[in-house]
Structure 1
Amino acid sequence: MEGAASIRAASGGTMNRAAIFEFFRRLAEANPSPETELEYGNVYQLLVAVTLSAQSTDVGVNKATRLLFAQVKHPQDMLDLGEDGLKAHIKTIGLFNSKAKNVMAMARILVDRHGGEVPADRDLLTELPGVGRKTANVVMNCAFGAETFAVDTHIFRVGNRTGLAKGKTPLAVEKGLEKKVPQPFRVGAHHWLILHGRYVCKARTPECWHCGVVDLCEYKPKVLDKGAKPAAAIKKAAARSKESMT
């Protein structure tokens, strides 16, 4: 990885500008057109899918919404379907009762106040039932191309673990990303980070052995051997350090 020594993270466990640019450059090179893994056909369906995905997997949401979205394409369709009809489609998703209530209330507001259209405004989106800042950021980014950073559990972990954007809360990590992510990576950044956290920088055992940005990352107990555990990696690193001092 050419030039890695000159773009090491700065002291204090955070990446410097050169490291951050290289971090995203590599992720972009590996996946030039990142997209959400949620399935949808229009902006309204995206909004519903993201709302349903809270504390659920994209795979599980997609299974539940395929038949739903064949029937429901607009807020009025959802109102026509009714809450019981919606529940029948999404009963395999966690918290489906409360989510169904929110989705129905959301549909009513969209029809009554927004002419059945999803507003391209984060503040207006967060006024909708069941729509928090993260959901609004996803919709703004995926549907409207806004430079927003939807911090889910994956991005929160990657931001803190790598030193890219550290913070004790999702909002703190989001603000860090807003400040640090450079062009031309700002629109795709949250997709790259989610996918990286989902498939490489995993919660229990980060798969550092096939990570393309491992040399830029500030995570100390790197798992460089497939099958190793983080604790084992820590012991190995300590042993190597001890050997080097003798």
Structure 2
Amino acid sequence: MTKTLYIIHGWTYSVEPWNKTIKLLNDNYKIKVKMLHVPGLTDPSKKVWNIDEYVKWADSLLPEDAVVLGHSNGGRILLNLLSRQPARVSHLILLDAAGVYEPSKKRDILRAISQLFAPLKQIKILRKLLHRIIGAGDYEKAPENMKKTLTNMLDSDRQLDISKVKVKTDILWGELDKITPPRHAQKMHQQIKKSRLKLFSNWTHAPYICDPEGLALAISEVMEAKR
């Protein structure tokens, strides 16, 4: 019997890197994947999005009994949806998900530096150098409307209450993830009562690139598991 998995991808402008994992899921494990193309990223949009609009977008596309996987920013969208509608789907899989807010003096200092040198951003070379210094590579690559959207996404983590998620949840995470580090996985596991956590020693933030075979197997196992 073929099962269906809905995926909301992370901050990327192409889902092509997912192709091998999707093929393995379909061919080896009889899991049909429906990739939801996120507005402004893989689905073009010129508007500035906020988390409320992304929640409404996801809510409009997911069936009530969906098994859904959220990677990185996709996980953030799903956590916000399920914090408001705790049983909206039947099974949530969080893959190196975003959504944990951590106060950061370093980030605040770097933002202040960025604002201080704002006039220099008109000079392309200096702008790229500044963003490299403050660790904002994705921000630099994004079009203007998505730069504002990315800021909205990061700021939304302050209000997110992950403990309100009540649905069956599996948390799959790479120990080598430096973007959403494993301590975020531990926090999500502690706050979501119906959750299981599995860490993978060879995974980075994008296991669909570094280990598509292992990712496909891990997804199939959590979809098959009874509890």
Same fold (TM over 0.5): no
TM-score (norm 1): 0.27
Higher strand share: 2
Higher helix share: 1
